[in-house]
Amino acid sequence: MYFSKMHGLGNDFMVVNCINQDFLLSSSIIKKLSDRYTGIGFDQLLLVEKSNNPLFDFNYRIFNSNGNEVEQCGNGARCFGLFLLLKNLTSKKKIFVSTKKRSLIIELISNNMIKVNMNKPDFTLQNFTLLKNISYDNFSIKLFKESLICSIVSIGNPHCIIKVQTIKHAPVNTLGKYIERNVIFPKGINVGFMEIINKKNIKLRVYERDVGETYSCGSGACAAVAVGIVQNLLSDTVEVDLLGGKLIITWKGLGHSLYMTGPAKHVYDGYIYL
């Protein structure tokens, strides 16, 4: 199986062209491939598939390192777009792709800078939580003997955003692990810790569902900015400072699509015997 290793701000991927390769990847095989000591090592596996829908150029599938298929990956979308261009799978500079639950438009801006139309943020909470009649911007989770206020939004995948004074001392791994598999989120949730510097700048750390903390999370950056904008805490264009680098998120509010712009990097090509 031929593949490429890529990353978006340190969030790393194994990208596989499934259009001209025929194979079956089980959860156990994906787990072995993702192992950083005995396999290739990655946060997510990205599959490039032919689309059966004439409205889309390609189908985009994402698997976490534990073998679970997930709905969305923003950093992965940028790497997916760059992979299509590097492998001459398309000559288009604007690519329409379908994902598990929605669609994306990936656009090459310059060199390795990629802009992605991430579609409209979804604040319809009943899609991914058991609780009803709650407000997305004033949601309380019982944590031991205290209540934690957080905000929830979907960018194709679910995110819980917590505002903190400083991300440096935020309990990302302990709190992220607790919330990720809380019983009120039957399918799990990504957990973002947001420090607001000013209306145009935030710092962010993300505990990703099934993965743990990563250097960067593109959909998490989109989710954090969306929450900040609906709460009138942020402007419509925000620079997000993640552990692996910076992303620019632009959103004009409810009813509009959200855009993410950032780099994608090709690391190497390889092949492995399954």
Q: Is 209 annotated as a binding residue?
A: yes
SS3 letters for 162-201? Answer: EECCCCCCCCHHHHHHHHHCCCCCCCCCEEEEEEEEECCE
Nearest to 201 by CA among 248, 167, 162, 159: 248
Q: Is 64 annotated as a binding residue?
A: yes
Q: Tokens for 180?
A: 């990720």
Q: Is 52 annotated as a binding residue?
A: no
d(CA 57, CA 118): 16
79 belongs to the catalytic site: no
Backbone angles phi and psi of 7, in degrees to 5: -150, 150
- Collect all residues with Cβ–Cβ distance below 8 Å to 120 and sequence separation of at least 6: 254, 255, 256, 257, 258
160 belongs to the catalytic site: no
Q: Is 44 annotated as a binding residue?
A: yes
Among residues 73, 79, 150, 160, the one annotated as catalytic is: 73
d(CA 148, CA 74): 27
Q: Is 11 annotated as a binding residue?
A: yes
Q: Is 208 annotated as a binding residue?
A: yes
Among residues 79, 150, 160, 217, the one annotated as catalytic is: 217
Q: Is 75 annotated as a binding residue?
A: yes
Q: Is 253 annotated as a binding residue?
A: no
Q: Tokens for 167?
A: 């991300």
Q: Is 21 annotated as a binding residue?
A: no
d(CA 39, CA 96): 32
Q: Tokens for 203?
A: 């710092």
Q: Return the active site residues.
A: 73, 217
Binding residues: 11, 44, 64, 74-75, 157, 190, 208-209, 218-219
Which residues make up each annotated binding site for substrate?
Answer: 11, 44, 64, 74-75, 157, 190, 208-209, 218-219
